[in-house]
Amino acid sequence: MPNTINTIVPDPKIVDLFAQHPTAFTSLEYFPPRTDEGVLNLKARIHRMKSRTSPVFADVTWGAGGSTSELTMDLVDYVKNAAGVVANMHLTCTNQNPDLVKEALDAAREKGIRNIVALRGDPPHGESDWKDQEGGFNCALDLVKFIKANYGDAFGISVAGYPEGHPVAITEVRECDLPNLSPKEKLRVSKSLDKEGKMQYFVCRDGDYKKEMVYLKEKIDAGADFIITQMFFDSNVYVQFLKDCEDYGINVKVVPGIMCINNVGGFNRMTGFCKTRVPDDLAASLERIKDDEEAVKKFGVEFGVKLCKELVAAGAPCVHFYTLNLERVVYGILDGLGWAKGISNEVDESDAKTMQAKGSSWARVGDSVTSIYGSGVVKECRSDGSAVIDLESWKLAGGQIVTASLAQGAYSKQ
């Protein structure tokens, strides 16, 4: 009698796939959508993008404190066992104890998932700062060690790298001090306007950057197989990061994370929060077209093609697209690279409004939010999910801005 039991074949480790692909390839990243409709739409998109872009692997993100754990597990299972793409599951240790992490790893292994992105993660819901969890993990290094100690070589492990420095290691610098920065610091300087319209400058100083690189080396020495970088928009930053890795004895593949430019508002929020350096010519180009969504996407493709060509020329093993659960810019870039042919004509983003991240209704201090009372800026986050918000669109007769305390669910990020 034939065996009718379905046997799940474990994924290969991504680190082994690099050797099988001597030329640069494509990989993708998705996040768990907020609604059931969004999840269904994303699963359809995963299939479309698999057939049109042939990704070697695909990531699915994990919400702070495990807030999307079940949905993340469902989606990586879908990526691997329905779409047939090697799945790379993000796993954070923020506000999680070892038992919960072990449950997630056991479930992943049962589904044949063999690749994990080990991360510290964002602060938990309603908190603006990350705090150690008593009896739990203090950092991504602890998570890497835990996986190796409890699972040996069962999982391939990737970790995050920050070519411009981790946001918590980036500090403000006065404009008058900019000429005194080292050449490497000048390459990492970012700038943004504060609430009053005054220009602010930020940089990861060389001493702090050294600590970042030493820590990255510790993660690799503990058992991580390769690095996926934070977003950046200057190929020179990647080239310098490769040199820095070599100088610190980090001899693994460094995968550049490519943030797709889909709209200016989202771009500004992400780069502002991460204190990512935006080259002046890029900022000027986006400013000129910021109100023309079609022009922004077209420019996002053109810029992405140029950046990816430079990264591949510099030795990038693959280009890892932060897709934002959308496809048009990714297709355009791959057509422009010559890695695909005509897929830009097969775009369907009619479901774009359903691609909001699960958990994105909570915000951090400084985030712009909307509510039934109008738009505003978060001034304080509370542990119950409520927030104190300056409602900038609601002004009193004397011009004073109304400040309100809104419950969780009464506001959402713009």
Distance between CA atoms of residues 128 and 410, nearest Å: 18
Q: What is the 3-state secondary structure (H, E, C) of the chain?
A: CCCCCCCCCCCCCHHHHHHHCCCCEEEEEECCECCHHHHHHHHHHHHHHHHHHCCCEEEECCCHHHCCHHHHHHHHHHHHHCCCCEEEEEEECCCCCHHHHHHHHHHHHHCCCCEEEEECCCCCCCCCCCCCCCCCCCCHHHHHHHHHHHHCCCCEEEEEECCCCCHHHCEEECHHHHHHCCHHHHHHCEEEECCCCCEEEEECCHHHHHHHHHHHHHHHHCCCCEEEECCCCCHHHHHHHHHHHHHCCCCCCEECEEECCCCHHHHHHHHHHHCCCCCHHHHHHHHHHCCCHHHHHHHHHHHHHHHHHHHHHCCCCEEEEECCCCCHHHHHHHHHHCCCCCHHHHCCCCCHHHCCECCCCCCCCCCEEEECCEEEEEEEECCCCCEEEEEEEEECCCCCEEEEEECCCCEEEC
Catalytic residue (choose from 29, 127, 164, 327): 29
Looking only at the bridges linking them, the beta strands covering 368-371 and 374-381 are antiparallel
CB 261 within 8 A of CB 251: no
29 catalytic residue (yes or no): yes
Of the candidates 344, 342, 202, 215, the residue with the CA atom closest to the CA atom of residue 273? 202
Whole-angstrom Cα Rg for the chain: 21
Ordered strands of the 171-173 beta sheet: 171-173, 199-203, 190-193
By annotation, the residues acting in catalysis are 29
